[in-house]
Amino acid sequence: MTVWKNEPPKIYDPLLFAQCPTPEFLRVRVEQKQEEFLADDYAKPSAFTPTEEQKQKWNSLSTEVLLDQLVAERDYSWTRRPDKLFLIRNNRWYRDDALQVPISLVEEWKKRLTQEIADNKDKKVSETEKAAHVLDWGSRFLSNLSLYQIAYGLHFYIDERGNTGYDGRKTDCEMMPFAEYAEATLKNYRVLRFYSLLSEEQRALFSKGSLLVSQLTPEQWAKAESLLTLTPSASREEAAKSVLTLVPLSEAKTFISFSSFQIQKPMMLPELALQIVLPLKSTN
């Protein structure tokens, strides 16, 4: 990615480009100075037109000074070619490209998720099964994607090929199949980081609720200890024999409310924490 290095504006005027879309500024500048520009743009359509005061201010300044403030405000960069053409780059284009999830992974995960949804149709999913979903999908995402890809590229993924893209008649969950799983991965990031340290044998025991604290390495226990919801008082012998388990940190909500509408979460994946269960004391 090429991001041109530009100088910060020597004097900053907060009203210089206030409310003015970049294309509108460039249109006026072409009329004022007959200069040429080639620019990327993320701006939404706008009915705003620059004020006369803004136009007069622009006309009194060099294009270089104007562009230095514009790029500082809007995360752009600019350069000028030998043929005098100004090039303006929206740096977000290139960062957002890096947030995209490889299509091969998307296709693989969509098939797997579609099959899981079909298998669970008309079935009441237990809290234990929901926790397993979080561990399974979260581990898969974190081993292949960055947190930024999960938060943006995966969470907001919509298949826009053919007629399967945005449809105002559908819910967000129908259009964005990974949204809930991406959210659950992010809010359970620390638990998933602990889970990633477990061996296959430890994971199998953990999923069955039979992983002993004594079977953890010092590094694993250091991660686990900070995730405990409650640490009961126990002797050294009791603590060594205690079992490490997963528990929902809070009740999962069926709906998220946004003033006048609601979005239903089909799986209601919970936020998780760890707890240790002490062995039952003998009555003898």
Q: Give pLDDT tens digits for 181-217.
A: 999 999 999 999 999 999 999 999 999 889 999 999 9
Q: Does any domain span residue 213?
A: yes
> What's the pLDDT score for residue 204?
93
Q: Do the Cβ atoms of 75 and 91 come closer than 8 Å?
A: yes
Residue 88, token pair as written in the block: 């303006």
User: Higher model confidence: residue 251 or residue 273?
Assistant: 273
H-helix or E-strand containing 79? strand 76-80
Q: Which 3 state secondary structure label does DSSP give 71?
A: helix
For residues 170 and 208, membership in a common domain is answered with: yes
> What's the pLDDT score for residue 188?
95
Amino acid at 208: K
Over the stretch 61-103, which tens digit does the pLDDT of each residue have? 999 999 999 999 998 999 999 999 999 998 877 776 677 898 8
Number of domains in the chain: 2
For residues 149 and 186, membership in a common domain is answered with: yes
Confidence bin at 263 (pLDDT 50/70/90): very low
For residues 56 and 122, membership in a common domain is answered with: no
Nearest to 275 by CA among 199, 213, 214, 189: 213
User: For 63-72, 157-166, 170-179, 210-219, which range has the lowest pLDDT when averaged over its residues?
Assistant: 157-166
> What's the pLDDT score for residue 1?
54
User: Higher model confidence: residue 249 or residue 63?
Assistant: 63
> What's the pLDDT score for residue 220?
94
**Could you say which of 64, 96, 128 is where a domain stops?**
96
For residues 128 and 261, membership in a common domain is answered with: yes
The residue written with tokens 């959210």 in the block is: 183
Amino acid at 50: P
The predicted model gives 251-266 an average pLDDT of 41
Listed in sequence order, the residues at least 6 apart from 21 whose beta carbon sits closer than 8 Å to its beta carbon are 41, 43, 44, 46, 48
Confidence bin at 105 (pLDDT 50/70/90): very high
Confidence bin at 260 (pLDDT 50/70/90): very low
Q: Does any domain span residue 61?
A: yes
Percent of the chain with pLDDT over 90: 49
For residues 143 and 272, membership in a common domain is answered with: yes
- The residue segments making up the domain with residue 40 are 22-96
**Could you say which of 42, 69, 96 is where a domain stops?**
96
For residues 171 and 255, membership in a common domain is answered with: yes
Q: Do the Cβ atoms of 262 and 255 come closer than 8 Å?
A: yes
**Could you say which of 96, 120, 148 is where a domain stops?**
96
Residue 264, beta-bridge partner list: 255
> What's the pLDDT score for residue 178?
93
Distance CA 22, CA 275 (A): 54
CA atoms within 13 A on the CB side of 6: 27
Q: Does any domain span residue 16?
A: no
For residues 73 and 195, membership in a common domain is answered with: no
